[in-house]
Amino acid sequence: MEFATADLIDDFDAELASCETQFRQYGARAVFAGPIATIRCHRDNALVKKVLNGPGEGRVLVVDGGGSLASALMGDLIAAAAVEQGWAGVVINGAVRDVATLRTLDLGIKALGSNPRKSAKAGDGDTDVPVTFGGVDFAPGAWLYSDEDGIVVASRRLH
């Protein structure tokens, strides 16, 4: 899939929300898009591991970790599982770890930063719920488009 988020804004401005959060790029796939799946969790990545070890079918997992950088919500093992399961990308409003390895994986990965600390594994959180950050509502089933310029979200597939 080839697109540029700036071109999508030019062509579909009224249909798009543009995320104001400034994420860092960690995965080898700089441009990615797909239907959204969501998780809301805080310093606990058990749901992230569970979901990314399931069929991705070209989707993008949006994880609202509340912006916490205190511990990582995804590392190299979970990200490698996401690649194997066919996920297009992961956007984490929080931290990742194992960044040297993440750079080698064919997966779109955006996060606020990194922290080597592991997160809890209790399974606290919610899946398939709307999450909001950066001025955007990320609803399950909506479409996320991401490139070097940022992230835009539409209620339908545009490209």
pLDDT band at 159 (very low <50, low <70, confident <90, very high): confident
The single residue listed with the structure tokens 């979200």 is: 153
- Mean pLDDT, range 40-56, rounded to an integer: 97
Residue 1 pLDDT > 80: no
**Cα four-point dihedral sign 83, 8, 128, 122:** positive
Annotated binding-site ranges for substrate: 75-78, 97
Q: Which residues are annotated as a binding site?
A: 75-78, 97-98
Sequence-distant (6+) residues with CB within 8 A of 42 are: 65, 66, 68, 124, 125
Residue 91, φ and ψ in degrees, nearest 5: -115, 120
Alpha carbon distance 33, 107 (integer Å): 11
Contact (CB, 8 A) for 87 and 55: no
pLDDT category, 108, cuts 50, 70, 90? very high
Whether pLDDT at 59 is above 80:
yes
pLDDT at site 123: 87
The whole-number pLDDT of residue 107 equals 98
**Binding annotation for Mg(2+):** 98
The domains located in the chain, with CATH, are 5-153 (3.50.30.40)
pLDDT confidence tier of residue 28, bands split at 50, 70 and 90:
very high
